[in-house]
């Protein structure tokens, strides 16, 4: 086997005694590489390097930062096919989605390269004579970034790019399961000419590296995407620290998609199947609760089943595959557990839910669709994070809206309708951070804010110009002439 992929600490690739194997979920005989597991000392060294780099980087010019971010964007986009392939190989989303995600990462860097040139402020007259007030933004310091396995390049990109654009230093810990795409991204950024220590990569376990990161008193802000229980621990550690850290959390979803009687069935089926099952349902924005009005219910369910029969589940790298494998054995166990729970609760499995055999050994699961479920069942309340969705039958729009909002989550929501009245009402009254009309709840633009409310998110929004709320601190300066 080749040399292990190393951590980047203070501008140097650093080895470690511990490593783990990055395994292809479409073919468990295919080992992508060996990646080092950092220690608490590695994390401490990375934070010290970030601190040392901060005085120079935080005072770099917008032009300097623009050029580096633009160069990163150019290389990602030039290598999108190769990076997308690596991503699909390690995470299991199909190649078109892998390349799409790599492209999105390149576009995000281009967007934030532009943001470097748009760092504005405000000048406001004071209440007092001869006094002026200036409102400016400054970098926060060292930002700790903890990313999940389901978007191995886009999420690291949408956290690292604004951090750097606003002049922060970064320590990033990617998900243990899929370090390859983040390693490739960090390599690109490193070679784009970033001063040493500005960006540090410490791969390894959440319980070791992540824990040390949230406890380190020289990390000033933590941006985390992952599960609710871990997110709670991150927030608790950030607010228990002295000084308290800024914290931004993106966690789970149990996103409702309403289908009203007046919806176009074809559109609704495409929206539902894409939102619930593409990317193997492994998106926090997945449409896992399908809330369907009684008049369209049977036609919709029947058309969904027909559509699902035609969906090809196979090796993510295989031409024609539309849904890849589940990411690993433990996620597959969780998906199967919830399929059993839904059956035990009285849900009717109308399609899928079976393990599938393919040429290569992998974690293949047929998308599972349940009907006859209620919103009180665990299948409606808990995030599965797999290709499992359930249909809840409702009488009318009011009941649909009440059920859509009856959840501890609030990330994304959707409605399929041809009625302007219901679409408008839903936009206004859905208790979610993102609302989609005749569109899947998953699959977002990169230039606008991303985030939810209630149990799904905490802290300022990610992405777009709104990212500056987290990645910069506001300063108010008063001047007497
Ligand atoms: C998308 O739906 O395009 O972990 C992005 C997740 C989200 C990203 C979803 N943070 O699934």
Q: What is the pLDDT of residues 206-261, one digit of tens each?
A: 999 999 999 999 999 999 999 999 999 999 999 999 899 999 999 999 999 999 99
Above 80 in pLDDT, residue 392?
A: yes
User: How confident is the model at residue 280, as a pLDDT?
Assistant: 98
Considering the chain, tell me which residue range(s) the CATH 3.40.605.10 domain(s) occupy: 7-252+448-480
Q: Helices in 133-247 by DSSP H: which ranges? A: 154-165, 179-191, 211-215, 228-240
Pocket test for ligand 1, best of 93, 145, 285, 456 (most atoms within 8 A of CB): 285
- Rounded Cα gap, residues 450 and 96, in angstroms: 23
Q: How many other CB atoms are found less than 10 A from the CB of residue 19?
A: 18
Structure tokens at 334: 């969780």
- DSSP label of 357: -
Q: Give the Å distance between the CA of 481 and the centre of ligand 1.
A: 49
For residue 2, name the pLDDT band (cuts at 50, 70, 90): confident
Kindly name the residue from 90, 250, 462, 469 that is annotated as catalytic: 250
Q: What are phi and psi of 171, to 5 degrees?
A: -120, 120
User: How confident is the model at residue 69, as a pLDDT?
Assistant: 98
The topology under which CATH files domain 7-252+448-480 is Aldehyde Dehydrogenase; Chain A, domain 1 (3.40.605)
**Where does ligand 1 bind, in terms of residues with CB under 6 Å?**
148, 150-151, 225, 250, 283-285, 442-444
Check if the beta carbon of residue 272 is closer than 8 Å to that of residue 281. Answer: no
- 459 — alpha (psi -120 to 50), left (phi > 0) or beta? left
Check if the beta carbon of residue 359 is closer than 8 Å to that of residue 124. Answer: no
- Rounded Cα gap, residues 282 and 277, in angstroms: 8
Task: Please state the atom number of ligand 1 nearest to the C-alpha of residue 444.
Answer: 3
Considering the chain, tell me which residue range(s) the CATH 3.40.309.10 domain(s) occupy: 256-437
Mean pLDDT for all residues in the chain: 97
User: How confident is the model at residue 1, as a pLDDT?
Assistant: 60
Instruction: Say whether 383 is catalytic.
Output: no
Q: Give the Å distance between the CA of 329 and the centre of ligand 1.
A: 21
Q: Which residues contact 423 (CB under 8 A, 6 or more apart)?
A: 415, 417, 437, 438
Q: Give the Å distance between the CA of 110 and the centre of ligand 1.
A: 19
- Each as own residue / partner, the long-range contacts of residues 374-380 (CB below 8 Å, 24 or more positions apart, any chain) are 375/289, 375/403, 375/406, 375/407, 377/342, 377/345, 377/346, 377/347, 378/338, 378/341, 378/342, 378/345, 379/338, 379/341, 379/342, 379/345, 379/347, 380/254, 380/289, 380/407
Q: Give the Å distance between the CA of 48 and the centre of ligand 1.
A: 31
Q: Tell me: the pLDDT tens digits for 276-330?
A: 999 999 999 999 999 999 999 999 999 999 999 999 999 999 999 999 999 999 9
Structure tokens at 198: 């500005």
Give the residue whose CA is nearest to atom 7 of ligand 1: 284
Nearest in space to 131 (alpha carbons), one of 477, 410, 468, 447? 477
Task: Please state the atom number of ligand 1 nearest to the C-alpha of residue 151.
Answer: 4
Averaged pLDDT, 349-362: 98
Enumerate the β-bridge partners of residue 173. Answer: 146
Model confidence, pTM: 0.97
User: Could you tell me what percent of the chain has a pLDDT over 70?
Assistant: 100
Task: Please state the atom number of ligand 1 nearest to the C-alpha of residue 441.
Answer: 2
Q: Tell me: the pLDDT tens digits for 118-158?
A: 999 999 999 999 999 999 999 999 999 999 999 999 999 99
Residue 322: exposure state from Cβ atoms within 10 A (0-12, 13-18, ≥19): middle
Q: Report how far apart, in Å, the C-alpha atoms of 441 and of each of 37, 86, 216, 276, 445 are.
A: 35, 26, 36, 8, 12
User: How confident is the model at residue 273, as a pLDDT?
Assistant: 98
Check if the beta carbon of residue 273 is closer than 8 Å to that of residue 248. Answer: no
Task: Please state the atom number of ligand 1 nearest to the C-alpha of residue 412.
Answer: 2
Task: Please state the atom number of ligand 1 nearest to the C-alpha of residue 148.
Answer: 4
Domain 256-437 has CATH 3.40.309.10: yes
Pocket test for ligand 1, best of 450, 462, 464 (most atoms within 8 A of CB): 450
Count of residues for the chain? 481
Pocket test for ligand 1, best of 442, 446, 448 (most atoms within 8 A of CB): 442
Q: Give the Å distance between the CA of 386 and the centre of ligand 1.
A: 13
Nearest in space to 304 (alpha carbons), one of 426, 390, 375, 385? 390
User: Which residue's structure tokens are 């970064």?
Assistant: 170
Q: Report how far apart, in Å, the C-alpha atoms of 271 and of each of 264, 325, 356 are.
A: 11, 21, 24
Q: Give the Å distance between the CA of 412 and the centre of ligand 1.
A: 10
**Rg, C-alpha atoms of the chain:** 23
């Amino acid at each position: 086997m080749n040399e292990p992929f190393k951590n980047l600490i203070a501008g140097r690739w650093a080895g470690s005694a511990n490593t783990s194997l990055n395994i292809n979920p479409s073919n468990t005989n295919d080992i992508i590489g060996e990646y080092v597991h950092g220690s608490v000392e590695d994390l401490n060294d990375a934070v010290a390097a970030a601190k040392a780099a901060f005085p120079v980087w935080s005072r770099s010019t917008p032009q300097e930062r623009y050029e580096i971010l633009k160069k990163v964007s150019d290389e990602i986009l030039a290598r999108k096919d190769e990076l997308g392939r690596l991503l699909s190989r390690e995470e299991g989303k199909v190649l078109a989605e892998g390349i799409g995600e790599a492209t999105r990462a390149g576009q995000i860097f281009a967007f934030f390269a532009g943001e470097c040139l748009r760092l504005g402020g405000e000048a406001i007259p004071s209440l007092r004579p001869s006094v002026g007030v200036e409102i400016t933004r400054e970098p926060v310091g060292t930002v700790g970034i903890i990313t999940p396995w389901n978007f191995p390049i886009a999420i690291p990109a949408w956290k690292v790019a604004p951090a750097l654009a606003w002049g922060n230093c970064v320590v990033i810990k990617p998900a243990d399961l899929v370090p390859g795409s983040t390693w490739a991204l960090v390599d690109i950024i490193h070679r784009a000419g970033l001063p040493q220590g500005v960006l540090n990569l410490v791969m390894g376990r959440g319980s070791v590296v992540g824990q040390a990161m949230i406890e380190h008193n020289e990390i000033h802000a933590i941006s985390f995407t992952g599960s609710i229980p871990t997110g709670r621990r991150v927030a608790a550690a950030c607010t228990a620290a002295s000084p308290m850290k800024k914290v931004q959390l993106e966690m789970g979803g149990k996103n409702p998609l309403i289908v009203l009687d007046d919806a176009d069935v074809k559109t609704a089926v495409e929206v539902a199947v894409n939102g619930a099952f593409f990317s193997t349902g492994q998106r926090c924005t997945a449409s896992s609760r399908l809330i369907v009005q009684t008049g369209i219910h049977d036609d919709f369910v029947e058309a969904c089943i027909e559509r699902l029969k035609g969906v090809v589940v196979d090796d993510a790298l295989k031409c024609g595959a539309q849904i890849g494998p589940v990411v690993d054995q433990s996620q597959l166990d969780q998906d199967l557990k919830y399929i059993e729970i839904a059956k035990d609760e009285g849900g009717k499995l109308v399609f899928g839910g079976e393990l599938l055999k393919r040429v290569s050994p992998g974690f293949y699961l047929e998308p599972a669709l349940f009907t006859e479920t209620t919103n009180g069942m665990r299948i409606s309340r808990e995030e599965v994070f797999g290709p499992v969705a359930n249909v809840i039958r409702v009488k009318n729009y009011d009941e649909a809206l009440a059920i859509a909002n009856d959840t501890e989550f609030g990330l994304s929501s959707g409605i399929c309708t041809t009625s302007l009245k219901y679409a408008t009402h839903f936009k206004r009254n859905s208790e979610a951070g993102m609302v989609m009309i005749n569109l899947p709840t998953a699959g977002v633009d990169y230039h606008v804010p991303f985030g939810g409310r209630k149990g799904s998110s905490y802290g300022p929004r990610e992405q777009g110009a709104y990212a500056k709320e987290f990645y910069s601190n506001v300063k108010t300066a008063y001047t007497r002439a």
